[in-house]
Amino acid sequence: MSSLPSAFTGVTVHPKANVYFDGNVISHTVFFPDGSKKTLGLIYPGSYHFGTAAAERMEIIAGSCTVILDGSTAGASYGVGAQFDVPSNSGFTILSPNGICEYICSFL
């Protein structure tokens, strides 16, 4: 388990939302002084598939989800404070069956 950040300092936030799946997944991009970026988002109830170009680390900060990585048939459940990694040039299906799931996505 990771410790959840209480705040990010010295960042720039891109105000335009990233909207996916008819508004059921929404995120905002945060840029850090070192050039790295993260997205902070909400996943409304449902099942959604994402492709990845860069490797990603998803941290769950509220709610819960089930994730199936591309190439696997088994799902794993994640709750607050849990994280999972997705390889580059891959993808994952994320299911949020019990309400809104909030996340921080770091690009590795």
| Predicted local distance difference test score (pLDDT) of residue 9 | 86
Phi, psi (deg, nearest 5) at residue 34: -80, 5
**pTM confidence score:** 0.90
User: Per residue in 17-53, pLDDT tens?
Assistant: 999 999 999 999 999 999 999 999 999 999 999 999 9
| Predicted local distance difference test score (pLDDT) of residue 3 | 62
Please state, rounded to an integer, the average pLDDT across all residues of the chain.
93
The answer to whether domain 12-107 has CATH 2.60.120.10 is yes
Q: Indicate the SS3 state at residue 12.
A: strand
| Predicted local distance difference test score (pLDDT) of residue 8 | 86
Phi, psi (deg, nearest 5) at residue 62: -160, 145
| Sequence-ordered list of residues with C-beta below 8 angstroms from that of 55, at least 6 positions apart, any chain | 85, 86, 87, 88, 107, 108
Give the integer Cα–Cα distance in Å for 108 and 98.
28
Give the integer Cα–Cα distance in Å for 103 and 94.
12
* Domain residue ranges of the chain, discontinuous segments joined by +: 12-107
Give the integer Cα–Cα distance in Å for 42 and 47.
13
